[in-house]
Amino acid sequence: MEKYDRVLLLSALTLLVVCVPLPGRPDAPPDYERLARALASISGSRMLADVTLLSSPEYNGRQAGTADDLHSALVVAERFRSLGLRPAGTEALIPHSPPWALTTLVIVTRLGTPTMEVSSGSEVIVPRAGPDYVPILDSPSANVTAPVVFVGYGISDPARGFDEYQGIDVRNRIILFLRGKPERYPTPTPQSEKQRIAREKGAVAYLAVTGPVLSSYETRRGTGLGPQASYSGLEDERPLPGCWISTALAERILAPYLTPRGQSLRTIQDQLNSTLSPRSGPTGTVVRLTWDSAETPGTLVNVAGLLPGREPSVSETVVVGAHRDHFGRQAGLLFPGADDNASGTAVLLELARALGEAGPPTRSILFVSFSGEEQGLQGSKLYVGRPLRSLGTTLGMVNLDHAGVGSGRLTVGITSLTKTVALEAGQAAQVSDRLDLFGFFPGGDHVPFKEAGVPTITIVSGGSHPDFHQPTDTAEKVQAAILETVARYALAVTWQLARGP
């Protein structure tokens, strides 16, 4: 950590004046009046200002483990202090400073500017980094030129009679596979597993693509067809070089394979989905991939602030969390991360302000700004492994993500809680007509809590998020009205969980 960062951190964390809200008085307003006052105070313009700040070039996309991650953590810590929250961490970034933060060491990968060439016969095209492809952000350095083989969804499962590598030689080849799995195939197959299979089969690199036929989950999350920044998901082994490519680029790469058959990527995907009959084969296309990659150690920073409940004898806590990190400045591209997840961070800060000013409910509320979500949920896993409040007395975790873009509806995932809680919160926030309730979402910082037995509610702005994990996720795309809808509902949910009988 540089000396300048240490001075900033020391000033932000050691010179804190902690203003603790007083317990409720007998003459305090009833809960419903305080809730109404908190809901009325929600400000979309205030949240939009926070989104604009955190997604500005000053923070370089807030990559976990970097000085930019620390810089954004200082902003949240100072805001928590100014709102009168109590420091809630168990470890300080600097010895002997007040414990606002929970930290861990991580590996920071930085990719240099990449190049890609696609050759088919005499035709050579040079796709653009960003619109056409994005390297997998923890890829090793690459200097690969090889023929491309299409392997469907990239699944090899002979026991179930579905092996997309059967009869196909991919040694010293680049493979191209579809994201996800056929809807009829019973077992989710993450990208990390597809990489392991490809390595075992002898592939030297891979290209991943979202197919034109979206799954119900992809549709619900508003997944687009452009390339998306991501990490490999491999924790204990070195990943293969890889790229996420656009659906349009995949169709160009596959053209020599598909056109003579009178097929398209859509028809191939429909056949895979309906028949589970492999459609793998050489594409007739050669791809060249080059970039440099470097790894350095860094410190991941979670920031936590506590709003104590007004009944000291009540030990239960509600956790409200949002991840602060994004992908940083990588592969010659800046990923601002305005919707993902400066928006959720802005909502988190607005809830802390509104609930603190309204006066606390019965139970305590712990506000946590997680880092490392994009790198395998590292921040929330760190919290669950070393919880700041007992998981046994944590009544629920409210997760805020992608809170600023979409249709104006709310997509809400619930685990281990009745829908009554979600519906009553919708009535209180006057957004019942915009709620779409679902069960478990397979991605996000709520997952480690759910796996630890803590009930969760995940709140996402509904509809399409066309700039998801792309350099085009900028502040001007975020809508203040959507931030307000998410914040009002999240506040009502949190109040519902925290107020007690």
The mean of the pLDDT values for the chain is 89
Please give the average per-residue pLDDT across 384-407, as a whole number. Answer: 95
Q: Are 17 and 304 in contact (CB under 8 A)?
A: no
Contacts of 106 (CB under 8 A, 6+ apart): 64, 65, 297, 298, 299, 300, 372, 375, 378
The two tokens of residue 384 are 């669950």
Amino acid at 383: Y
Q: Give the pLDDT confidence of 339-380 residue by residue, as tens digits.
A: 999 999 999 999 999 999 998 788 999 999 999 999 999 999
Give residue 272's pLDDT: 94
Q: How many CA atoms lie within 13 A of 236 on its CB side?
A: 1
Strand 317-323 relative to strand 364-370, pairing: parallel
Q: What is the mean pLDDT of residues 274-293?
A: 96
Class of residue 96 by CB neighbours under 10 A (exposed 0-12, middle 13-18, buried 19+): exposed
Q: What is the arithmetic mean of pLDDT over 161-165?
A: 95
Write down the H helix ranges in 202-264: 216-220, 247-258
Distances (CA, A) of 341 to 15, 234, 247: 28, 23, 25
Is the pLDDT confidence value at 230 over 70? Answer: yes
Q: Is the pLDDT of residue 61 over 50?
A: yes
Provide mean pLDDT across the span 121-128.
93
Q: According to the model, what pLDDT value does residue 221 have?
A: 63
Per-residue pLDDT at 389 = 92
- The pTM of this model reads 0.89
CATH number of the domain at 113-291, out of 3.40.50.1000, 3.30.70.2190, 3.50.30.30, 3.50.50.60? 3.50.30.30
pLDDT higher than 50, residue 96: no
- How large is the average pLDDT for residues 261-273? 92
Residue spans of beta strands (DSSP E) within 179-236:
205-209
pLDDT at 102: 84
Average pLDDT over residues 171-181: 96
Average pLDDT of span 292-310: 94
Q: Which residues pair with 328 in a beta bridge?
A: 335
- Residues with Cβ within 8 Å of 140's Cβ and at least 6 positions away in sequence, in order, are 238, 239, 241, 293
Mean pLDDT of 93-122: 79
pLDDT > 90 fraction of the chain, expressed in percent and rounded: 78
Find how far residue 57's CA is from the centre of its chain.
20
Nearest to 395 by CA among 370, 422, 365, 373: 365
pLDDT value at residue 220: 64
Distance, in Å, from the CA atom of 408 to the CA atom of 429, rounded to the nearest integer, reads: 14
Termini Cα distance of the chain = 47
- The values of phi and psi at residue 134, to 5°, are -140, 125
Give residue 13's pLDDT.
34
Whole-angstrom distance, CA of residue 351 vs CA of residue 492: 10
Q: Once rounded to an integer, what is the mean pLDDT over residues 55-80?
A: 95
Q: Which CATH superfamily is domain 3-9+29-107+296-498 in?
A: Zn peptidases (3.40.630.10)
Q: How far apart (Å, rounded) are the C-alpha atoms in residues 165 and 149?
A: 10
Confidence band for 100, pLDDT divided at 50, 70 and 90: low
Listed in order, the ranges of the chain carrying CATH 3.50.30.30 are: 113-291
Residue 394 has pLDDT above 90, yes or no: yes
| pLDDT at 225 > cutoff 90 | no
> Is the per-residue pLDDT at 280 higher than 50?
yes
pLDDT the model gives residue 436? 95
Measured in whole angstroms, the distance separating CA 338 from the mean position of its chain's CA atoms is 12
Start-end of CATH 3.40.630.10 domains in the chain: 3-9+29-107+296-498
